[in-house]
Amino acid sequence: MTVDFHDYWEGSKKLIDGALDEYLPLESETPEVIHQAMRYALFPGGKRLRPILTLAAAEAVGDDSRAVLPTACALELIHAYSLIHDDLPALDDDDYRRGKFSTHKAFGEDIAVLAGDALLTLAFGLISKTGEREEIKGSLVLLVIGEVARSVGTAGMIGGQVDDLKSEGKEVPLAQLESIHHRKTGALLELCLKAGAILGGGTQEEIESLSRYGRDIGLAFQIGDDILDVKEEKKGKASYPALLGLEESKRKVSELIKRAKGELACCKDGEGILGKIADLVFRRSLEYNAGNP
Amino acid sequence: MTVDFHDYWEGSKKLIDGALDEYLPLESETPEVIHQAMRYALFPGGKRLRPILTLAAAEAVGDDSRAVLPTACALELIHAYSLIHDDLPALDDDDYRRGKFSTHKAFGEDIAVLAGDALLTLAFGLISKTGEREEIKGSLVLLVIGEVARSVGTAGMIGGQVDDLKSEGKEVPLAQLESIHHRKTGALLELCLKAGAILGGGTQEEIESLSRYGRDIGLAFQIGDDILDVKEEKKGKASYPALLGLEESKRKVSELIKRAKGELACCKDGEGILGKIADLVFRRSLEYNAGNP
């Protein structure tokens, strides 16, 4: 029996939203304002792509993904923390996020800084709790914590953000742009796959293949963002379409998605979900045409 | 043979500074600016009280503290991250720290936010590496990671900072001030003792006694800060001397230090170091008199 992709996504999203609600301190817990800000940044969320990728990777290499849920949610917390800090006036200075005020506009800059800090802190705490489950070895959890620190630290996500900030208004060669995209967006997506595969009990080969899949769809996702977000060019920011042209950018997305799907031969790919997520990332980058015929 | 306290401190400080230098990415590693900012915030550091407490706690319950070094350094990274973010214009707005420009004055607010994030991230990564040492069980390391997340999250350090920010200019009753002090400063000091005792292989009783010692000297340390920093009153901030008077504040410090030292009966207290650190915190709070005869 094949699970319908839309049903799978909605079911997973519900599971993740319920777990996030359980893991986050209540708004009524003191100090209320910081917990309100943390929840404001997380609910209602986006597509929950990162935790869904984590769960799907665990399913692709094992039978049960439930034990991976705290880690999947932790990676969503890290995504949320990075958006709060990126939106700050001193960084990208964005007043809006997902159709509402960004966290610092709603709660003040002081609370936004601390809410980001708190989400990052809570994320590591959550992952450590995974070790309390008998079916997952503590050594694997420690391995994942090390991978998280590396992927979202200065060698990964934070480093990408630094180079992105520093390259604004400058000419950026393609290799540098790809490196920024890989670190700023791709590193966290790759981490989701890797963490899910490790905790799901994957073999070394499975872990590596799924990580490469994550790396490729991560870059494809970001090029898709570039294609969708033509405004970026106006802000003097480098983008794939600006450097390569629109058609060549789409060709690159197509190539990355094909390669990513090739990596899935390694695993049983739970219900073909990872293949369908790759297709989704591909179709997303074509939406540009749909809206601009 | 008793080790001289001054020699012990200097020796430990050298060990810690060397380890921090090893654990932090080089300034020449890309992106250079973030690594420069991280090192700027850490070197030359303060007294390294937090990692020294961590090492001393491990020694008080076991024979070898070397395995605890990454975690001791991680707690110093967390202290440094909290100072960078606290100093930001949107929070305490301090231009100077330890006689030089604060990190955001030296590197800009954007890099200061990200350098704080990076230090917090690196801290968790460092602790996870402790699990690679055969003499320390992975389950203990995971326990410590959970304790760190709790102590420096919204139930601890971040929560104390939120309440401190929100109470500025308001009348704060003593119970609330003590709660802020406990969380903003005490929680991290208590954590240092607890983490050292857990990783050093302490019994449940030793871990609890040393945690209470940490809690008491943490509050004593903060009241000492209040006593030393008479400027705080002018900024409309609540302080122990403002609420209790100078003599009563000193009496409170004395009482806390006595109680803290009482807790040390539980352990062999490596070379009496923890007792001497308690004495140091006590003497520090009397320095006010020395400068103001």
Residue of B nearest to A29 (CA): B155
Which is more confidently placed, A98 or A2?
A98
Best probe of the A interface among B75, B81, B113, by most A CBs < 10 A, is B113
Å between B93 CA and nearest CA of chain A: 10
pTM listed for this prediction? 0.95
Give the residue from A80, A87, A158, A83 showing the smallest Cα distance to A126: A80
Q: Could you tell me what percentage of chain B is helix, strand and coil, using 3-state DSSP and rounding each to the nearest 5? A: 75, 0, 25
- B-chain CB neighbours of A108 within 8 Å are 90
Chains A, B: CB contacts within 8 A come to 161
- ipTM at complex level: 0.95
What is the structure's pLDDT at A231? 61
**Each residue of B226-268: pLDDT tens digit?**
888 766 555 567 889 989 999 999 999 999 999 999 999 988 7
Q: Which of residues 20-49 of B touch A (CB under 8 A)?
A: 25, 29-31, 33-35, 38
Residue B62 near residue B203 (C-beta atoms within 8 A): no
Does the distance separating the beta carbons of B166 and A31 come in below 8 Å? yes
Domains along chain B with CATH numbers: 5-291 (1.10.600.10)
What number is the average pLDDT over the span A40-44?
Answer: 97
**pLDDT beyond 90 at B131:** no
Q: Which of residues 119-148 of A touch B (CB under 8 A)?
A: 120-122, 124-129, 131-132, 137-139, 141-143, 145-146, 148
What is the structure's pLDDT at A230? 65
**Each residue of A120-177: pLDDT tens digit?**
999 999 999 887 777 788 999 999 999 999 999 999 999 999 999 999 888 899 999 9
Give the residue from B75, B102, B74, B73 showing the smallest Cα distance to B90: B102
Which residue of B34, B137, B161 is in closest CB contact with A159? B34
- B-chain CB neighbours of A154 within 8 Å are 25, 29, 31, 34-35, 38, 118, 122
What number is the average pLDDT over the span B32-57?
Answer: 96
Q: What percent of chain B has pLDDT over 70?
A: 93
- A-chain CB neighbours of B149 within 8 Å are 121-122, 124-126, 128
Long-range contacts of A273-280 (CB under 8 A, 24+ apart): A273/A3, A273/A5, A273/A8, A273/A56, A273/A59, A273/A60, A274/A53, A274/A56, A274/A57, A274/A60, A274/A210, A274/A213, A276/A5, A277/A49, A277/A52, A277/A53, A277/A56, A277/A217, A278/A213, A278/A217, A278/A220
Does the distance separating the beta carbons of A38 and B154 come in below 8 Å? yes
